[in-house]
Amino acid sequence: MLTKKELDRYDRQIIMPGFGAVGQEKLKKAKVFIAGAGGLGSPAALYLAAAGIGTIRIADHDTVRLSNLNRQILYQEKDIGREKISSAAARLKKLNSNIIVETIGETITEANADRLVGDSDLIIDAMDNLPTRYLLNKTAIQKNIPFFHGAVYGFEGRAMTVIPGKSACLTCLYHGANVPAEKFPVIGTAPGVIGCIQATEVIKYLTGLGELLTGRLLNYDGLSMKFTEFKIKRDPGCAHCGRAPDR
Ligand SMILES: [Zn+2]
């Protein structure tokens, strides 16, 4: 049940056709796992906190640096040198004191991924490297929970939603290909756009509204200001979802 204060706070989304108090209660009951509290994790976490997601579980092992501030909008100058997750939790609680923020200061590895994601309802991929993205993709498939992929480079970004057993996964898309981890360019608005798309997808998934970004890779090019879509089919031989049962 929603309190009078909650009905007031979320009024503009509750009045949307098909959303209602029922939709808001679904957000309140949800626990989302955000892997990474950086450029993508910042807008995703802020908008999901603002929307009233009941529990946000956020993982990052880094500390805030000056060079993060062009894009990681969870942080301010006073946070430099602090653990990202503690600054992030404080910022999110300041925005919405009704939500629960769980923080994880560990690096996500093969050994701990299952435990760190725990009983979360879904995974948001806000990482900056492919090996951890693949690992989270695999973890989502094993747990049979959706995976919301997002990535940025320069003025560009990509997003895709994965429903295990139903739509193409990250490994169907990239077949385990990798690129060397290195410092890459990024303008802060690119993760702003993509992080918001990921948060939108999460809200749609939880409330059952609209059509998810499944089986489609959305490419955003900020310089030409074009959104392009590529159809992505499931790979029957996919190392991660090839043998997952159909739903
Ligand atoms: Zn797959």
Question: Distance from the CA of 157 to the center of ligand 1, in angstroms?
Answer: 21
Looking at residue 86, what is its pLDDT?
A: 98
- Average pLDDT on 53-76 reads 98
pLDDT, tens only, 77-117: 999 999 999 999 999 999 999 999 999 999 999 999 999 99
Q: Which of 145, 137, 117, 121 lies closest to 232, judged by CA?
A: 137
Question: Distance from the CA of 25 to the center of ligand 1, in angstroms?
Answer: 32
Enumerate the β-bridge partners of residue 104: 59
Looking at residue 247, what is its pLDDT?
A: 46
Q: Beta strand pairing status for 216-221 and 226-231?
A: antiparallel
Question: Distance from the CA of 243 to the center of ligand 1, in angstroms?
Answer: 9
Question: Distance from the CA of 161 to the center of ligand 1, in angstroms?
Answer: 12
Question: Distance from the CA of 141 to the center of ligand 1, in angstroms?
Answer: 9
- Average pLDDT on 20-31 reads 98
Question: Distance from the CA of 206 to the center of ligand 1, in angstroms?
Answer: 22
Mean pLDDT of the chain: 96
Q: What is the pTM of this model?
A: 0.97
Question: Is the predicted pLDDT of residue 245 greater than 60, yes or no?
Answer: no
pLDDT level of residue 246 (50, 70, 90 thresholds): low
Looking at residue 244, what is its pLDDT?
A: 52
Structure tokens at 232: 């992505």
pLDDT level of residue 180 (50, 70, 90 thresholds): confident
Question: Distance from the CA of 233 to the center of ligand 1, in angstroms?
Answer: 9
